[in-house]
Amino acid sequence: MDCNCVSDLLLPPVPALWTPGFAFPDWAYKPESSPGSRQIQLWHFILELLQKEEYQGVIAWQGDYGEFVIKDPDEVARLWGIRKCKPHMNYDKLSRALRYYYNKRILHKTKGKRFTYKFNFSKVVLVNYPILDMANSPFFLAQNHFNGGSAAPDCSPEAIQSLFPRLPDTGRGTSLFDRGSTAPGPDGDKLRLDTFPFLSSGAPCYSKPPSLLGPYPRNPPFDYPWSFNPYLPGAFSLNNCPKLPPGSLYPSQFYPSPLQSSLSQLPHPFSSLLPPGEAAGGERGAPGQTGGTNSTAGGQPARLCLPPYPGSLSMGRTDIANGVTLGERERVEANPSSTGLGLSLGAVSLGAGTGQQSPTERRGGVKQDLESDSDLEITDLSDCSSDNENEHDFGIGKESSLVSRSSLVLDGKKGSLLPPIASLPPPVSPHPLKSLMPLTPPPPSLPPSLSPSMALHDRHREAETLKMIHS
DNA sequence: GGCGGAAGCG
DNA sequence: CGCTTCCGCC
């Protein structure tokens, strides 16, 4: 019997829109060959649930860093089953799938705690953190996918396909960026951890799992464009495909920056770099929360109308640390892609170390201890505390270079080794990062203040900042 | 509950 | 490949 439930084909690729997207290892996706074949993976799904407040009765971060508890196994299984169109899914099967991650070191079990698992973020997040691997990133492939044939009001891929044209070049989405004429090969321009000392193993302490840093921005512009909420009536109804209002079918450049999204998912030092709206994810009782109504509806270019940042900033005033002005904010709103990067990088060096604790403790009940082993979680690849029996190939010390770290981790995945750093193309601009900054052209309808020249100007400022940082 | 083997599926 | 399904074992 054909399952007509919400399938990945009917939805914009969820992870691509909110997850650390490219912050996850490439192998988390199957991008290159057939974007359309990509399905949400369980750990994406878990993360997705974890970051949504409405599921905290079902699954929530708890305990050590990266540790989460499945409070309602049956419900999680049910949701997963719905998402995967596996009506007979249950926790037994789900847990088998989770166990399947043990070997991959994406997850491991917290022994002695029922239904408690732990993400190995060093594997999941920091591996091959290709911040600038934009054109190749699943995110943009996903965007293409989305643009090309995903969601539609009538759930017909064909129908949606007709709604807007495919991006000029298929597959790699490079058209979204002006990557220069020296566009390297598919993997040649991956940015590795070693490019980001601040992502190094000495990562400063962070204390919270992503969700504790505040939800993914769910205010209008970055709300799930497809209004996914399995708890909402009809969300998973067999008869109701998610209805995407025309206004939500924006070209990919209107979608949130994968970087920003990913930073909101990252451990503290990273998420704290986000603009307050990102890091804090809006107020707790954010009005118009996902809800049944799509707040992006209306056919307006809602993604250009970011909500004001919450008045009460939860993070350590990263905006100030970064000298974010109102003008810049405007730019941020207009062009999250480029700003996310610049802002974040700037923040990393300027502001990192401040505001580590999110004052906005969600879920009053859950108290996270700052002294958790979080610092180890991200640095220790062999972190799998209890499941290390077969640690044959990850026996690198914490002092190992990031280069080898990336490679090592990836080599767990057949042949996806990154090229040696020396093989990377030289930067074409003064700053190695700048050259990789995406140049997302604003849509034609952009107001003057959001014009490309504006963006360039600001990018220049970013570059200056970066120079300072790296000098 | 938790585990991992095995087979199967798309 | 990433599960799903089933299962026996602890």
Least confident of A39-53, A120-134, A335-349: A335-349
Protein residue closest via CA to C1' of C5: A93
What pLDDT does residue A116 have?
96
Contacts of residue A157, defined as CB under 8 A and 6 or more positions apart, other chains included, come to A9, A149, A150
pLDDT band of residue A121 (cuts 50, 70, 90) is confident
Segment holding A70, helix H or strand E = strand A67-70
- For residue A115, which nucleotide's C1' is closest to its Cα? B1
Q: What is the pLDDT of residues A314-335, one digit of tens each?
A: 333 333 333 333 333 333 333 3
d(CA A161, CA A148): 5
Q: How confident is the model at residue A122 (pLDDT cuts 50, 70, 90)?
A: confident
Which chain B positions come under 7 Å from a protein C-beta? 1-6
Alpha helices by DSSP H, A240-352: 258-265, 268-271, 276-279, 318-321, 326-334, 336-351
Positions of strand C less than 7 angstroms from a protein CB: 1-7
Which residue in A166, A84, A102, A139 sits closest to A259, CA to CA? A139
- What's the DSSP call for residue A37? G
**Nearest residue to C2 via alpha carbon and C1':** A41
Q: CB of A225 within 8 A of CB of A414? A: no
Dihedral angle, C-alpha A20, A26, A27, A28, nearest 10 °: 20
Mean of all residue pLDDT scores within chain A: 45
Question: Does residue A151 surpass a pLDDT of 60?
Answer: no
Q: How confident is the model at residue A460 (pLDDT cuts 50, 70, 90)?
A: low
- pLDDT of the residue at A4: 53
For the ranges A78-87, A90-99, A454-463, which has the lowest average pLDDT?
Answer: A454-463
In the numeric block, the tokens 């480029």 are attached to A338
Please tell me the least confidently modeled range out of A52-66, A226-240, A243-257, A455-469: A243-257
Q: Give me the mean pLDDT over the A175-187 stretch.
A: 32
Check: CB of residue A335 under 8 Å from CB of residue A185.
no
Within 354-413 of chain A, which residues have Cβ less than 7 Å from strand C? Answer: none
Mean pLDDT calculated for residue range A69-93: 95
pLDDT higher for A470 or A99? A99
Q: Which two tokens stand for residue A422?
A: 């020396």
User: What's the CA A452/C1' C1 distance, rounded, in angstroms?
Assistant: 42
A218: helix, strand or coil = coil
Residue A17 has pLDDT above 70, yes or no: no
CA separation for the pair A420, A427 (Å, rounded)? 15
- Contacts with A82 (C-beta within 8 Å, 6 or more apart), sequence order: A5, A6, A230, A236
**What predicted TM-score, i.e. pTM, was given to this entire model?**
0.39
Q: Does the pLDDT value for residue A93 go beyond 90?
A: yes
* Per-residue pLDDT, A461: 52
In 3D, which of A455, A208, A202 has the Cα closest to residue A348? Answer: A202
Cα angle A179, A185, A188; round to 5:
90
Amino acid letter at A53?
A: E
Nearest to A401 by CA among A193, A203, A206, A123: A193
When pLDDT is averaged across residues A223-242 and rounded to a whole number, the result is 35
Q: Within 261-300 of chain A, which residues have Cβ less than 7 Å from strand B?
A: none
